[in-house]
Structures are given as structure tokens and as C-alpha cells.
Amino acid sequence: MGKFPLILSISAISGGGKTTVAKRLAAHLNEGVRIVHYDEYQLTGPSDFGNWAVSSGDYNDWDVSPIVKDINLHIKNPEVKYIILDYPFSYLHAQLKDMISISIFIYFH
């Protein structure tokens, strides 16, 4: 086995099934799993999402340091083997991209 914990990012659009997949994967892995849910954080970022999406769309406009802090706490716990990141942006944010071991993007066509 490789280095633990592995950080698995589950990404999709809003309503794309990230949380469902994260919970099912955690149940399958069973022990030593922590899920970090993006939706549980009040992140600092642009106040007008629509304007942001049109004018910038830069994921780095959002401060995800509270998520990084929690992931670092889980990394320090020797019982944690897997951290599942229920997070829409995968590798696209500078604060998180180097932490992610594997990214899964849910795509519906």
C-alpha cells in the first residue's frame, strides 16, 4: 500500500451526486475514513456568484483555508487512512490541488 492518508476528491456540478458517492465510498472503505463536505463550510469569496462566474470564474477567488485546516487535522490522526473530499472543484484550486491523491469527476450526459 501507498502512503496514508489518501485524499480522494469527489467532484461534480451542484446536485451531481458528490455527497451520495462520498457516503457510499466511505461505507465501502468502512474504517479509517473521514469525509470533508464542502457544503458544511462558510467560505469567504465573491458575494455575487453570477457576476463572479461571468467576470472571473477563478476558483482561487474563494478562500478554502478552513477546509485545508480540517484536512491537515485528519492527516495528523494516525487512524485516518482515507479522506474523502466532497468538493466541486477537484484540482482547480491552488490551496487544495497538491493535497489531493485521486480525483473522481461525476459527469452526466
Q: What is the pTM of this model?
A: 0.88
> Across residues 20-28, what is the average pLDDT?
94
Average pLDDT, the chain: 91
pLDDT at position 1, please? 47
Which pLDDT score is estimated for 57? 87
Model confidence over 87-102: pLDDT tens digits?
A: 988 899 999 999 999 9
Please state, in angstroms and as integers, the Cα–Cα distance from residue 102 to each residue in 36, 39, 60, following that order.
15, 20, 20
What is the arithmetic mean of pLDDT over 49-56? 88
Domains of the chain: 6-45+55-105 (3.40.50.300)
